Amino acid sequence: MKTITLRPHAPWYTDELRDAKHKRRKAERIWRRTGLTVDLQIFKDTCRNVNKLLIQEKRLFYSNKITECGGDQKNLFKLTKHLMGMSADTILPTHRSIEHLANRFGDFFADKVEGIVAEMGKSDVVADAMSSDCLFTGDVLASFDPTTEDEVRTLITSSPSKSCNLDPIPTWLLKECVGELLPIITAIINQSLLKSIVPAYFKRANVKPLIKKAGLDKEVLKNYRPVSNLPFISKLVEKVVSVHLQRHLKDNTLYDFFQSAYHQHHSTESAYIMILLNLLIRNYVPL
């Protein structure tokens, strides 16, 4: 009986490298059978060739990966961590079973949300702030306009190819079949906007608890934050709503003057520049 070892597929493993390894094994068998010095030299040459090809293919593969990251610093950082072997193990509290731990986290996060909602109901700060705002006299956003296939296509192609195990097909496959699936996806989104209903399936998510900071007590549940992995179509509906909301805010000049977060073309950098500019203007002393 022959034992076969299953090894994970290496993405840089090419046909050329496979052929070179076959030649190396063939040269090794010949040398072990004959024991001749010339066959040993041939075997060493094939070993050097395999090593050279392996380094070359790895370098080419990761060079292409770095190029694909472009200006995306997040993906570049993840790739760098992977190359340096810095993938951290998942930190979880001590538990007797995964099911019991999942229920503990579920109850904790649900109670936390209920507590926040209850505290918001007791406060009049939000109501006071809203009553002191200027009266809006522009067009009221009473309903969302239907989206178009072109808009949905743009959102799909510009989205990361991340998938959730709640998705019926991987996101990369959906992108390849976007022409065939676009009418159905657009119709689903428009029905949700028209009826103001988010389907129950879109509200499902895989929630993963992540430790907030290294060094915190892993046994204390409040030291974790929930990270939800939603189905792609659910995130697509959110993006359509976000686009329509931002369009309304922009057209009616409703953005707060000092808002930097969640505002296109505004960031931490632009906020720093504004603060620095205000300080320079305030402290300016003419010569």
Residues 266 and 166 in one domain: yes
When divided into structural domains, the chain yields a total of: 2
Residues 6+ apart with CB under 8 A from 163: 170, 171, 172, 232
- H runs (alpha helix) in 14-90: 15-34, 37-69, 73-83
pLDDT of residue 88: 62
pLDDT tens digits, the chain, 287 residues: what are they?
Answer: 667 666 667 888 888 999 999 999 999 999 999 999 999 999 999 999 999 999 999 899 888 888 888 777 777 888 887 777 666 677 889 888 889 999 999 999 999 989 888 887 776 655 555 555 667 777 888 888 999 999 999 999 998 888 888 999 889 899 999 999 999 999 999 999 999 999 998 989 988 899 998 888 999 999 999 998 999 999 999 999 999 998 988 888 888 777 777 777 777 888 888 888 888 888 776 65
Residues 110 and 209 in one domain: yes
- Host H or E run for residue 129: helix 125-131
What is the dihedral sign for C-alpha 52, 55, 57, 60? negative
Domain that holds residue 46: 15-67
Residues 239 and 192 in one domain: yes
Residues 172 and 264 in one domain: yes
Instruction: Please indicate, yes or no, if residue 231 is contained in any of the structural domains.
Output: yes
Beta strands in the chain (DSSP E): 206-211, 224-229
Residues 109 and 227 in one domain: yes
Residues 150 and 249 in one domain: yes
- Which tokens sit at 281? 């203007």
Taking the mean position of all CA atoms in its chain, how far away is CA 218? 25
Instruction: Please indicate, yes or no, if residue 2 is contained in any of the structural domains.
Output: no
Instruction: Please indicate, yes or no, if residue 88 is contained in any of the structural domains.
Output: no
Using alpha carbons, select from 232, 144, 229 the residue that is nearest to residue 185.
232
Instruction: Please indicate, yes or no, if residue 85 is contained in any of the structural domains.
Output: no
Residues 195 and 240 in one domain: yes
3-class secondary structure, 207: strand
Residues 189 and 51 in one domain: no
Residues 110 and 173 in one domain: yes
Instruction: Please indicate, yes or no, if residue 41 is contained in any of the structural domains.
Output: yes
Using alpha carbons, select from 236, 227, 220 the residue that is nearest to residue 157.
236
Instruction: Please indicate, yes or no, if residue 287 is contained in any of the structural domains.
Output: no
Instruction: Please indicate, yes or no, if residue 87 is contained in any of the structural domains.
Output: no
Residues 104 and 20 in one domain: no
- Which tokens sit at 256? 């707060």
Domain boundary among 67, 86, 110: 67
Instruction: Please indicate, yes or no, if residue 125 is contained in any of the structural domains.
Output: no
Residues 151 and 212 in one domain: yes
Cβ–Cβ under 8 Å, residues 228 and 180: no
3-class secondary structure, 206: strand
Residues 47 and 185 in one domain: no
